[in-house]
Every structure is written in structure tokens, then in C-alpha cells.
Amino acid sequence: MSNDLQNKVIFQQVAELLQNARQQVLRTVNSTMTITYFEIGRIIVEEEQNGKDRAEYGKKLLRDLSKQLTKEFGRGFSIDNLENMRKLFLTFSKSETLSRILQIQKPQSLTEEFKSQKTQSVSAEFNKLDYQTLSSFFKLTFSHYIFLMRIEDEKERRFYKIESEKHNWSVRELKRQYDTALYTRLALSRDKEGILKLSEKGQIIEKPKDIIKDPYILEFLGLPELHQYSESQLEEEIINKLEQFLLELGHGFTFVARQERITFDDKHFRIDLVFYNRILRCFVLIDLKIGELKHQDLGQMQMYVNYYDREMRLEDENKTIGIVLCQTKSEAVVKYTLPENNEQIFASKYKTVLPSVEALKKLLENK
């Protein structure tokens, strides 16, 4: 690896360390507020159990509480926000993950427990827990949880919670990843056991295939769906919005170069984009293609990968990965162009408009 490339990689690693330190301070503040709102939600739910007409009593309780808290503490305690706190407790007190952390024996239905009007509800068990225990579960902002509560499927909700925590996603980033159906796109390439791991551990990267998505969603570029632009224009837009592109690529990617020139036998070739993945410890080369993938495109990428492996890769680094991004592709062309044991060259489609989440989920259901 040249000194310039090595310096870029080192800078990215140091910058990420500093960013993570800042995020850690914010996380402590966010966790404290979320736990406080969770406890407020618990108090509201338990008080509702004492009302004879729970529906009407609950509405009056929220109205009165909102008025008193706003007068004492200012903004942030609207009826809608108090309802969100209530929902925070109801949603996550039933979470399998939180129950394991708290080591509480849940009833079959928390709702049925409320209906029974027992004097001691399961929610009261939370009184016995210390802050440190809850903080190991609530690591995001309240705004994150408001969005997560909209996701009905608990496995999918757990995945987005884990990924938001691991990678410091803002609410905006979380929303984009959900809108582009990240969980569904990753699940499409996994068996049932792999899908379960996604919901329990998030995305785990152990081999090259783990970083590949198909399709990649590039709606942030603002380009039309039809190829009314050139490959150079596509590349230029990606560079202009590199932060968003890195987010779409996934975990551990750092930018190295664009239009990287390689030369041999007095012939010059240019690789569109070069990245380095710190988790897999390897270079990742990307070539952009407008229109349909051709077998020559895969052959050219194989040449680039071979060159990087033999001329650029250090002894302690893993083999280079090559990704050809195209608008359409024939699976048969990919299958018969690449060797059966291929673990380095990949072809993925890209879309410049948001796909239908329902359509992607239907593909997952029909696997």
C-alpha cells in the first residue's frame, strides 16, 4: 500500500475514534432521559389500572398531567408526548431482550395482567431495578424509540435498534435505512437461522458476502431511474454525497480513491472507486455500469482485483473484493462468468429511487 493510501486509512481510523468518544458522552445523556421517560410511562400505566373507566380515566390523567408538568418543567410534556412515554413502557416492557436483561418472568400477556386488576402488576417489578441495568438496554434518544415503536415486527425492530446503537445512527439515518428496507434486503440473502441472527445481533461481518447488498439504494443522488446520465455523472454524484454513499455501503468502509490508475505493459486502466473495509481488512473496488451487466465487466473487475492482490495488498491483509454496480443483470451471466467457489467478485444492482418496501418483503416471504 502506498504512503498516501496508508495515511488516508489511518486518518479515517483516528477520526472515527474521536467521533465515537463524542457520541459516548451524548449517549449517557440520551440514556438517562429515555430511562426517565420509560419510568414516567410505567407510572402512567400503573395509575391507569386504578381507574374504573380506564379509557376515560386515562385521557383525563394525561390531560391533567400534561398541564401540571408543562407549568412546572416547560415544553416536552404535551399529551402526545406523554402518550409516547406510555407506549414506550408498554412496547419495551414486553421485549424479549429487555426481559432477559431484567430476568423478569413475563406473563403470557401483559394486557391480560392489566385486565385482571391485580394489586401488584408485573410492571411494578421495574421498581426494583437500578439505573445501570436499564441503561444497558436504553442507549438511544427518545426520538429513536418513537420511530422504532412504529415497527410492528419485533425481530425487525430489534435489528434496527441494534444497528442504531452500534453505528451511532441519527434518527434521520435510522429512518432512511428503514425506508430502504435494509433489514429485508439483508434477510433476502440469508436462511432462517441467518435472519434470526440479524434480529439478535444485527449485521455481523465475517466474510466478503456479508457486506454485499442487492440492490443498493442510491435515491439520495437525486438521479432519475432511467439511465439518462453517464457513468462519470453517476460517479460524480456519489463523490459529492460520499457520506450518504458510505452509509449505504455499510459498516467499516473508508474512502481511498476515485479513478485510481493502474498501469502494466504500457496500458492504463482506471478503477472508478476504491474503498477499504476495516472489519474485513481488505480493499473493496467498485466499478459503475450504466445499463445491463456484461460478462466483460466481470472479467475487467477480476483483472483489477488480481492486480490489487498482487501489487497493493499487504501480507497481513485479506484478499481484495470487487463489486460491479449495474442497473440490470442476468443471474445466468453472473453464474457462468464467475468461478463456482467465488468469494471476491460480486455484481449488484442499484436503484436511484426508493423501492417498494412491500415488494421487497413479499420476496422475503416467498423465499
Within 8 A by CB and 6+ apart from 82, the residues are: 40, 44, 62, 65, 66, 69
| Shared domain check, 236 and 160 | no
Which structural domain range is residue 193 located in?
A: 151-204
| Shared domain check, 216 and 175 | no
Rounded Cα gap, residues 297 and 80, in angstroms: 54
Cell of 58: 386515562
pLDDT of residue 222: 87
| Shared domain check, 255 and 194 | no
| Shared domain check, 257 and 219 | yes
Cell of 348: 449488484
**Residue 19 banded pLDDT, cuts 50, 70, 90:** confident
Percentage of the chain modeled with pLDDT above 70: 79
CATH number, domain containing residue 215:
3.40.1350.10
Q: Does a structural domain hold residue 7? A: no
| Shared domain check, 349 and 219 | yes
pLDDT-wise least confident of 136-140, 248-252, 268-272, 334-338: 136-140
| Shared domain check, 313 and 174 | no
**Residue 113 banded pLDDT, cuts 50, 70, 90:** very low
Give the pLDDT confidence of 297-347 residue by residue, as tens digits: 999 999 999 999 999 999 999 999 999 999 999 999 999 999 888 999 999
Give the pLDDT confidence of 129-188 residue by residue, as tens digits: 556 678 778 889 999 999 999 998 888 999 999 999 988 899 999 999 998 889 888 887
Overall domain count for the chain: 3
In three-state secondary structure terms, 17 is helix
Q: Does a structural domain hold residue 364? A: no
| Shared domain check, 311 and 221 | yes
Q: Please tell me whether the overall predicted TM-score, pTM, comes out greater than 0.75 for this model.
A: no
Distance of CA 105 to the CA centre of its chain: 30
Q: Does a structural domain hold residue 242? A: yes
Q: Does a structural domain hold residue 295? A: yes
| Shared domain check, 308 and 173 | no
- Does position 277 have pLDDT exceeding 50, yes or no? yes
Which is more confidently placed, 1 or 84?
A: 84
